[in-house]
Structure 1
Amino acid sequence: MKPKTYVLEKEYAVDRKTAWQLLADNNRMNLYIGLFPVSFSPAKQDGAEVFYREAHAKVLGLVPISWQEFPFQWQENDSYTVERRYLSGPLKRYTLKVELFDSGQSGTRVKLTADFVPLNPLGYAAIWATGLPAVKKIMRYLDDYLESGATDAFEAPQKPATAKVNLSELDRLSDLLGKSPVNGDYVEKLHRYLADKGDHDVAQIEPVQVAKLWNADLDDTLRVLLYATKAGLLNLSWNVICPNCRVSKIEHSSLSQLEQQFHCDLCGVNYDANFDQYVELNFSVHPAVRQAYAEVYCIGGPMITPHVKAQQVIEKGKTARFVIPEGEDALRFRVLQANHRVAVDKNADAASLLYNDSGWSQDLVSGSGDVIITNSSSADIVVALEYSDWNKQAVTAAKVTAMQEFRDLFSSEVLSPGQKIGIDHVTILFTDLKGSTLMYETIGDSSAYGQVRNHFEFLTGHITRNSGSVVKTIGDAVMAVFHKPEDGLKAALAIQKNLKAFNDTANEDLVLRLGLYSGAAIAVNSNDRLDYFGRTVNIAARIQGQGEGDDVIISREVLAQPMSAEVLSRADVELEEFSAVLKGIDGAVELVRIRLREELEIEEQAG
């Protein structure tokens, strides 16, 4: 059968970045243009050829077809290609290439090249009936975007909801949410979002995108979504993400369902679950409000892995050129499945790489221009140019479990007994009420306990306003957790700054010692509460004991972090560096004592 090639070109009054975000978001685009959803099997590899996934679908919901789908190849904001080799149905192969070119001052010329190879005469009919119309609808997708007046790719055209929204239930639960301590404007925005957005957007609610859409702070957006979950508007789930391909592998409705290890078939590696890299929080509309499903059309498209800037298949013995994006840092090349990595460094001299069965020819490659990669291994490979750092905007389990609202609203959301999940970076704050024993002796148990309870509320307020949460109280001490060191530092400084005013109001004379430390920890279930253990927790507790009162003790590592240094640069403080030998900790620990001056100003988030 002779192949059929169709080329469609058109110019659009939209910049290339926006055109890319629209056309490379294959799941959203294919849903809108009416393609059939697809189910995928785990990755396979036959001989020396690159791996693929078997895909299965039903044309028009009736005729079953299956194919091998090979990895997408793309250069961000430039082009992408996808190839399908059919195992059943009237076609033998289909390849689609999407290319973007600058046009005028801010326009983009879009070029689509679709190659169809029929298996039999029926294949020609299938091309005319479904194949070519689907390609034309891609162009129509951009037309509809421009006609809608949208200004952001997240506001792309959407297919109307497949199920009616239960408006009475949406109104009732929104009214209930409005009684929570959240911004009323956000309640109204969430109501409109759940009523008007397409199925894909309400079935997979991405907090970062919602915050961007609302022009809101991410933490404020998260608070609304958490309270909305408690009110019954939303459901929450935990997705286990592969650290390499960054694709969701398992979805759990509760933290208690997490397992310590998981497997990624695409990367061929087992991983230990990790709170701040591998477990992310997701939201979806509650079925009582609206039935919605996020149908899958592609499993390896560019917008599914937005951390990948470029990806190419390099056949054995062949060479490929990669364009290094300007102004991007912390990039690396990685071979999918083998997971061999090499860092991109602007100061490196080498502009070419050789890959063989044992790995890369060197550890660094230049990031100042194009890079040439030669595959001298015994098999085809897929090479990705990607960010080496995890997406800082991802809403990870480490971030959300450090929020006081999460602990207050979902206190039952804990790990299963005996389960231990690692966290690479967490910040622990310990506070101690100096002279509390004497206070109990002099004013009596009842009065002393009342003062302790009042000071707990004072501490909790400042901890919460700075995106932290109280893990537990130990006698008259508090243990708190923060996702970011700078948030813990801001909370500690605000506590000491406002303690005098609290004492004046409560007619008390309390003196506090505070210790702050960041590092790795283990999250566990302790007495049906989410708790933290490990060396970081031990050091935080010990350095608090180095306080003299009215001060904050931190490690030099915290001081060295840019965001922490910025917090201190805005405050009027005195720093004293010293070393201390802490009980149960090997070697001396380098510490910093922070004392506040009278005119200190600490910025806190609104409560």
Structure 2
Amino acid sequence: MPDIANRVMAVRQHVDETVAVAMAHLIEDAPDFGLNRVNPLAFARTNGLGEQESIAAFLHATQLGLFELSWNIVCQSCGGVLYQAESLQGIDQHHYNCSFCALDWEPTLDETVEITFTVDPRIRHIAAHDPDSLPLWDYTRQIFWSSGSDLPEHLAPVVGEVVLDAFEIAPGARMGRQVQMREGVAILFDPVTHSSRFLEVSGEPAEGQRLSIELDDAHQAGETLRLAPGLLTLDLENRTNRRIMPIFWIAGKALEAILTRRVPVLTAKRLLTHQTFRDIYRTNVLDLNQRFRITSLTFLFTDLKGSTELYERIGDLAAFDLVRAHFQLMYQVVSAHGGAVVKTIGDAIMATFPTPAQGVAAALDIRKVIDELNRRDSRDDLFLKVGLHSGPCLAVLMNERQDYFGQTVNVASRLQTIATPDMIFATTPVVEDEEARALLAARGRSLHGTTAFLRGLSGEIPVYGIPA
């Protein structure tokens, strides 16, 4: 295995040694299955490591050529991967169809787009690098289903009661098979072309039923066919230039129980709010015309109060050093709580977090480190105003960098302008989050509710002061 030690040593420069060592063992010792679409959250859990540092390790390892990062559109019903792209720019459709479930999915960054890492073939060649050579059930498990599907490595032993039959058909070939049909709904689904047919089976048993189905690259569900219970002669034709592997699934609670078993995954939203990702992928994350919806993201805005007077009072050089030290602390605290600094605006920062609780924890610790900075320099004139809001937004490209747009961003920004040095201001979606409330209770913080007018919004909105 070429150059693994040197590249892992380079990863070790950015993350804790235990994380880098665990990654080295993964690359060297894991079975092929374990190096395809690696879920970094599962990697962290298995090795007793922190999720944030594990994500950072895989990002650095990708930059060093150890892994390849992929953005996968995942069906939220069955957990199947509908499309895989090498970058967010490659996700260029408004909807992706799951023909297994007959559902369309919008690529929202916090729900339908997952991030996985596959070992680079130049580091170690695994079977999934040549997916058409994988046996039927290995292909279905490793290529069709996502890293969030809680399924065993070997599927064949667990699908007996939910599968009528399964086939491998060479390019351009035909296959005949007899299948015993029973009442209910059956789904003939090919994980290679994502083509499917739904069969409704009902009524009195019948003999001599015959059905011919052509499977092509249409990537969609065909019309629903109706049959009677009994023996069916099935003729299948592969009209593609690849091997296909249609599987006859029995729809029902047993299949649903298999498909709905899930584990946490690294979502695109969480990746975009990871400081290491923003530091490494500064440009080319999004295309100029792309807009991705995020159903909920937490925004934190801070600003130094009286920074203009500070420059006048202590001079440009001293003030610049103080403001720069403040920015360094902001980056450290935001990153430590699983967020990322999106941009600085004068003496202000805009940061994002996957959850309200992470934003609240960061806001409290930010105020704490600013107080410590004041004490360190024997001063009492460095004050920070902080505003927090959660809600839907759009991920966009602005000024050649990935940014966010929408009313949620506007509210968070304007909330910071009315905040006070002794109170962090937050909105209802933040303080009503269960984890955020538990955090505030654990830290002995009570809420001070009021209402306020925010520029650009009609009417007053509820706001809550959190003692710093």
- TM-score, with normalisation over the residues of structure 1? 0.57
The answer as to 2:37 corresponding to 1:176 is: no
1:205: how far off? 1.5
**8 Å Cα contact 1:260-1:419 kept in structure 2:** no
| SS of match in other structure, 2:418 | coil
Choose the corresponding residue for 1:465, options 324, 332, 336: 336
Q: In percent, how many aligned pairs have the same letter?
A: 29
Give, in whole Å, the separation in 2 of the partners of 1:189 and 1:552: 40
1:290: how far off? 1.3
| SS of match in other structure, 2:95 | strand
**8 Å Cα contact 2:79-2:259 kept in structure 1:** no
Q: Which residue of 2 aligns with 1:394?
A: 265
1:586: how far off? 3.1
The answer as to 2:320 corresponding to 1:449 is: yes
Q: Which residue of 1 aligns with 2:429?
A: 557
1:207: how far off? 1.5
The answer as to 2:417 corresponding to 1:417 is: no
Q: Which residue of 2 aligns with 1:200?
A: 33
Give, in whole Å, the separation in 2 of the partners of 1:390 and 1:579: 43
1:582: how far off? 1.3
1:490: how far off? 0.4
**8 Å Cα contact 1:259-1:273 kept in structure 2:** no
1:293: how far off? 3.3
1:517: how far off? 0.7
**8 Å Cα contact 1:268-1:337 kept in structure 2:** no
**8 Å Cα contact 1:252-1:258 kept in structure 2:** yes
What amino acid sits opposite 2:384 in the alignment?
L
Give, in whole Å, the separation in 2 of the partners of 1:482 and 1:392: 21
**8 Å Cα contact 2:273-2:339 kept in structure 1:** yes
Give, in whole Å, the separation in 2 of the partners of 1:235 and 1:438: 49
Give, in whole Å, the separation in 1 of the partners of 2:280 and 2:366: 24
How many pairs are equivalent? 377
**8 Å Cα contact 1:496-1:551 kept in structure 2:** no
| SS of match in other structure, 1:491 | helix
Q: Which residue of 2 aligns with 1:238?
A: 71
What is the RMSD computed on CA atoms of the aligned residues?
A: 3.2
- Within 5 Å, give how 1:556-575 maps onto structure 2: 556-575=428-447
**8 Å Cα contact 1:316-1:378 kept in structure 2:** no
1:317: how far off? 10
Structure 1 residues 409-467: Cα deviation after superposition (integer angstroms, max 9, x where no partner): 22235111121000011110000111122223333444333322221111111111101
More relative contact order, 1 or 2 (CA 8 Å, 6+ apart) = 2
Give, in whole Å, the separation in 2 of the partners of 1:542 and 1:237: 36
Gaps in structure 2 of 5+ consecutive residues: 152-157, 165-179, 186-195, 203-223, 228-249
**1:319/1:417 CA distance change after superposition, 3 Å:** closer
- Within 5 Å, give how 1:470-549 maps onto structure 2: 470-508=341-379, 509-549=381-421
Choose the corresponding residue for 2:455, options 576, 583, 587: 583
Gaps in structure 1 of 5+ consecutive residues: 1-164, 321-335, 339-354, 356-376, 597-607
**8 Å Cα contact 1:421-1:522 kept in structure 2:** yes
- TM-score, with normalisation over the residues of structure 2? 0.73
What amino acid sits opposite 2:122 in the alignment?
A
1:558: how far off? 1.6
Give, in whole Å, the separation in 2 of the partners of 1:284 and 1:307: 18
1:223: how far off? 1.8
**8 Å Cα contact 1:237-1:252 kept in structure 2:** yes
The answer as to 2:120 corresponding to 1:286 is: yes
| SS of match in other structure, 2:43 | helix
Q: Which residue of 2 aligns with 1:331?
A: none
Q: Which residue of 1 aligns with 2:251?
A: 382
1:262: how far off? 3.4
**8 Å Cα contact 2:74-2:81 kept in structure 1:** yes
1:400: how far off? 1.2
- Within 5 Å, give how 1:99-248 maps onto structure 2: 165-166=1-2, 169-180=3-14, 182-248=15-81
Q: Which residue of 1 aligns with 2:220?
A: none
**8 Å Cα contact 1:313-1:383 kept in structure 2:** no
Choose the corresponding residue for 2:108, options 270, 274, 287: 274
What amino acid sits opposite 1:476 in the alignment?
D
**8 Å Cα contact 2:35-2:119 kept in structure 1:** yes
**8 Å Cα contact 1:414-1:528 kept in structure 2:** no
**8 Å Cα contact 1:261-1:270 kept in structure 2:** no
Give, in whole Å, the separation in 1 of the partners of 2:312 and 2:392: 39
Decide which structure has greater helix share. Answer: 2
